[in-house]
């Protein structure tokens, strides 16, 4: 049923919380996990071109590389796709990557880096639910679970 799974991550803790669920969905052998890392870029300003929104983008990338390696060690056929989007465009880039890969399901956290206090459902996840061609699994962050 879920032969190709997309795990969308921006390197945030909330995205990391969705990784165990990705593994659960991939529990059977022969499944493929495409890790889509979307890096958001600022809109070009007066002085210079677009910059990554997150100053620690290199660290995040290193962490994600490690997570892909971990998936492979767990016997999952894991691939990494790094994509870039302008601020506000991440959901579309993720949905496009999933469609292109003919993914059966997309796994995301409820919100990523851009969480705004009080909003439990991030804007990227919210938008993804509207535009994704396939089912989406939304994984609540542990912090949220513990509060209940």
Partner 1 sequence: MFNTIVWATDDSPDANRALPYALALAARDGAALHAVHVIERFPAGRLPNEPVRCDEPALDARIKAETLRLAGEKDLQVTLHMPSATVGHVAERIAEIAQREDADLIVVGTRGHTAIGALVLGSVTQQLLRVAICPVLTVPQSASEIAEPSPVTTTTDAA
Q: Which residues are near partner 1 by CB under 8 A? A: 1, 3-4, 18, 21, 24, 27-28, 30-32, 102, 104-105, 110, 120-121, 125-126, 129-130, 132-140, 144-145, 148
**Alpha carbons 77 and 30: distance in angstroms, whole number:** 7
Least separation in angstroms between residue 37's CB and partner 1 is 20
**Alpha carbons 33 and 58: distance in angstroms, whole number:** 22
**Alpha carbons 73 and 67: distance in angstroms, whole number:** 10
Q: Using the minimum distance from each CB to partner 1, give the nearer residue, 42 or 145.
A: 145
Q: Which helix (H) or strand (E) holds 34?
A: strand 32-41
Least separation in angstroms between residue 41's CB and partner 1 is 27
Least separation in angstroms between residue 73's CB and partner 1 is 19
Q: Using the minimum distance from each CB to partner 1, give the nearer residue, 116 or 148.
A: 148
Least separation in angstroms between residue 13's CB and partner 1 is 16
**Alpha carbons 124 and 122: distance in angstroms, whole number:** 6
CB 40 within 8 A of CB 87: yes
């Amino acid at each position: 049923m879920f032969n190709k799974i997309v795990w969308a991550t921006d390197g945030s803790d909330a995205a990391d919380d969705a990784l165990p669920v990705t593994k659960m969905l991939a529990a059977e052998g022969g499944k493929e996990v495409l890790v889509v890392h979307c890096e958001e870029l600022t809109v070009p300003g007066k002085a210079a071109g677009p910059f990554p929104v997150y100053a620690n983008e290199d660290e995040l990338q290193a962490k994600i590389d490690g997570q892909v390696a971990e998936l492979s060690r767990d016997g999952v056929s894991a691939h990494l796709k790094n994509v870039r989007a302008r601020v506000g465009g991440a959901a579309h880039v993720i949905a496009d990557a999933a469609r292109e890969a003919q993914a059966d399901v997309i796994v995301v956290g409820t919100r990523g880096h851009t969480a705004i206090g009080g909003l439990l459902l991030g804007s990227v996840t919210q938008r993804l639910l509207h535009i994704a061609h396939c089912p989406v699994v939304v994984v609540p962050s542990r912090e949220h679970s513990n509060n209940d």
